[in-house]
Amino acid sequence: MKKTQIGVIGLGKMGAGLAQQAAEKGYPVVGMDIRARPDLETDNLRVVITVAELAKQLERPRKVFLYIPAGAAVDGLIDQLEPHFEEGDIIVDGGNSYWGDSIRRADRLKRKGIYFIDCGTSGGPTGARNGACYMVGGDDKAVAQLQEFFVETSVPEGFLHTGPAGTGHYVKLVHNGIEFGMLQAIGEGMGMLTHFRDKLDISAILGLWNNGSVVRSWLVQLMKQMYDQEGQSFDVPSYIEDTGEVNWLVADALRMEVPIPVISQSIMQLFTSRDQDPTWAKAIAMMRHGFGGHPYGEDEGLKHERRFGRVGEYEMPKFAEGDGEKG
């Protein structure tokens, strides 16, 4: 049985990986990038450099995946595709677009009879190349036409039709928020391990945790892999970069009045990593200096007091005989 032909626009790490995986699994693929990509071309994978060429080479109903950065660029690309697409054709946004934008785009294209699918794609470049995890929102008829493709290019049980337009990108956004919280918790754990009084074998501990413990996960496995790769050290820049999607989730939570303290704090910690010369810390130091004469910078005397100022532990209240007992 002939497999459906697909187009992939944006042959970066994600788009190229998906195009190669699909072609190797027998799907005829037409890729499009801003430049020729002879390094990707095979008998089953052709690359063009214009939207007109892409539309011309795709069989109807056309099915094209977009793997480009979120934002106005997606709308701009849809503007270019629209004159070449016809009723029944399908556009799939596989990037990290905001779910509200996906609902708007689906409504816009529906008026012309063009389907729009929002496809949250997890697993990174390795997943795109070898088997991804798809969270797919969109019209039942459109998703059904690509279901076989989604199943064959995902890991086992790695495809779910989450519901109507917008749900795929919303579920992926929540997924990314959970990811940030998990990253923060693991990072804090590494900080505690490195500050113990005795030197601990962090690589061995991470390996242990991934065998039967309740915190075993791919992220713990990845932490061990990267720690070992960096010479069993954390000697990398502490500045954490990101593309900002989880900020949208925090804003959504405020509108929905849903408390997400762990995810929100993980974003605050991310911002803190970028603040190499923090004004807030200087402001606090200035006020403390003003009201209590506290010094600027480190002070050995205060360090000693901080460590040894308390002699005993918390003093429990003393109860009179019979207090606190039930008759």
pTM of this structure:
0.90
Record: fold of 6-171: Rossmann fold (3.40.50)
Mean pLDDT of residues grouped by 10 in the chain (327 residues)? 93 96 97 93 95 96 97 96 97 97 98 97 95 98 98 97 98 97 97 97 98 97 97 95 95 98 96 94 94 93 91 86 59
10: left (phi over 0), alpha (psi -120 to 50) or beta: left
Six token digits for residue 65: 């995946």
Give per-residue pLDDT as tens, 119-168.
999 999 999 999 999 999 999 999 999 999 999 999 999 999 999 999 99
Would you state the pLDDT for residue 322?
Answer: 66
Domain boundaries, the chain: 6-171, 177-274
* Residues annotated catalytic, as ranges: 172, 179
Q: What is the pairing mode between strands 154-163 and 132-137? A: parallel
R_g of the chain, CA atoms, integer Å? 27
DSSP per position, 210-278: TTTSTT--HHHHHHHHHHHHTTSS--S-------SHHHHHHHHHHHHT---HHHHHHHHHHHHHH-SS-
Record: fold of 177-274: N-(1-d-carboxylethyl)-l-norvaline Dehydrogenase; domain 2 (1.10.1040)
